[in-house]
Amino acid sequence: MNGFLRQILFLPPQQSTIAYDLDWLHYLVILTTMAGAVLVTLFGGYYVVRYRRRLPEPDRPNVDAGARPHFLYKLGALVILATLFLVFWIIGVGQYMRIRVAPADSMVVYVTAKKWMWKFAYPEGARAIGTLYVPTGRPVELVMTSRDVIHSFFVPSFRIKQDVLPGRYTTLWFQAIEPGSYQILCAEYCGTGHSTMRGEVVALDPSDYARWLGGAAPAGPDIEAPRYEEPALGNPGAASPRSPLVLARVGERVAAEHGCLRCHTLDGSPHIGPTWAGLYRSIVPLERGGDVVADEAYLTESIMDPAAKIHRGFQPVMPSYLGRLDAPETAAIVELIRDLRDVRPEPGALTPGGQGSGGGGR
């Protein structure tokens, strides 16, 4: 049944843990609408034949079926339709939440889109262009941004698609089921090279993946070793192929170079801005009231547009870093903050430390 429906709907094989369930809802909607169309056609055909014009025929009064049965039919149809849509909606909301919220044990890969390629950076420091290597059987969260225009990351076999925007981060997660190579397409028109903006996800056995990450090309003939280099970040330091540049350490350097550490601390001690220790995924109370989860979206928004959502109790002294940090630098800082998620801030560190001294600039 699944195979047959998948073929007549031209869907590629289901290769992620969510793909089958998403397709199942797809089938349910398609089959329901097809059944509806068949019913309407049959009834229509029946009435065409039953009430066709017969010649010769004397004048007859119009058929009067009475108002009541008509009303009940309409009400019945409405209830059936509303129930169906409600069922679709409830299943759909459940699936939406499932595909939006990455499992807590996901590994993270940073994705940068640009005309017309996909770049991948791993927290361990490995980088790849065009090919995203992942292990099977483990959830992978992608934290994505664009260097130029809007792109969209689309892996048909995984049934995942997400717009990738300049100046902010969007996320997506998947878990590959079996080793193999799966096509990545750009699904948002982004210029003359849009149709060539492709890549592939290569899912490897966890052991092969570990070997790939370790710098040794795994058994497969077409798999290249990861490149441990650092484009567009200047001052590479000692970046030999065997000493991976851990992204969080790059983040520390970027943060120091751009003056972030003059206001933010890494160990939880109070200062001019909120400490980065334990900040990631914590609940941040806002000056305007309400609160927000400090996820990638909030962190990058706060870097690019600091005044948008001020952490309660802090002064709005931070300048915007829009145009001052490029995508790899921003990703490195976000990774640094993620890396500090389990550093417990000292009590009171998330409220202002009382140093009113200026210097909030830069």
Give the range of 87-95, 186-194, 252-260, 291-299 binding ligand CUA by CB under 6 A: 186-194
Please report the sign of the dihedral spanned by the C-alpha atoms of residue 339, residue 344, residue 350, residue 354: negative
Helix or strand (DSSP H, E) at 180:
strand 180-186
Which of 47, 73, 89, 189 forms a contact with ligand CUA (CB under 6 A)?
189
CB of 155 to ligand CUA, least distance (A): 14
Give the range of 66-74, 184-192, 254-262, 309-317 binding ligand CUA by CB under 6 A: 184-192
**129 near ligand CUA, judged by CB under 6 A:** no
Q: Which is nearer to ligand CUA, 152 or 157 (CB)?
A: 152
Helix or strand (DSSP H, E) at 233:
none
Q: Which is nearer to ligand CUA, 149 or 292 (CB)?
A: 149
Q: Which is nearer to ligand CUA, 182 or 228 (CB)?
A: 182
Per this entry, what is the length of the chain? 362
Give the range of 55-63, 96-104, 188-196, 316-324 binding ligand CUA by CB under 6 A: 188-196
For residues 137 to 166, the per-residue mask of contacts with ligand CUA, x marking binding by CB under 6 A and - elsewhere, is: --------------x---------------
| C-alpha distance from residue 338 to each of 34, 263, 294, 352 (Å) | 48, 18, 10, 21
**Which residues are registered as beta bridge partners of 121?**
110, 127
How far is residue 237's CA from residue 221's CA, in Å, rounded to a whole number?
32
Q: Which is nearer to ligand CUA, 71 or 189 (CB)?
A: 189
Helix or strand (DSSP H, E) at 168:
none
Q: Determine how many CB atoms are found less than 10 A away from the CB of residue 276.
A: 27
Q: Residue 262 is which amino acid?
A: R
Question: With contacts defined by CB under 6 A, how many residues of the chain interact with ligand CUA?
Answer: 8
The side-by-side arrangement of strands in the sheet containing 107-114 is 127-129, 117-121, 107-114, 140-146, 170-174
Q: Which is nearer to ligand CUA, 80 or 129 (CB)?
A: 129
Q: Would you call 51 helix, strand, or coil by DSSP?
A: coil
**190 near ligand CUA, judged by CB under 6 A:** yes
Give the range of 20-28, 71-79, 190-198, 237-245 binding ligand CUA by CB under 6 A: 190-198
Which of 197, 201, 254, 304 forms a contact with ligand CUA (CB under 6 A)?
197
How far is residue 90's CA from residue 39's CA, in Å, rounded to a whole number?
25
CB of 165 to ligand CUA, least distance (A): 12
Give the range of 189-197, 198-206, 252-260, 335-343 binding ligand CUA by CB under 6 A: 189-197
Which of 122, 134, 162, 188 forms a contact with ligand CUA (CB under 6 A)?
188
**186 near ligand CUA, judged by CB under 6 A:** yes
Q: Which is nearer to ligand CUA, 20 or 116 (CB)?
A: 116
DSSP for 38-88, please give it.
HHHHHHHHHHHHHT---SS----PPP---HHHHHHHHHHHHHHHHHHHHHH
Which of 138, 194, 211, 281 forms a contact with ligand CUA (CB under 6 A)?
194
- Residues numbered 32 to 91 that lie near ligand CUA (CB under 6 A) are none
How far is residue 102's CA from residue 109's CA, in Å, rounded to a whole number?
13
Helix or strand (DSSP H, E) at 307:
none
Q: Residue 220 is which amino acid?
A: G
| C-alpha distance from residue 292 to each of 95, 105, 310 (Å) | 23, 21, 10
- Contact residues for ligand CUA (CB under 6 A)? 116, 151, 186, 188-190, 194, 197
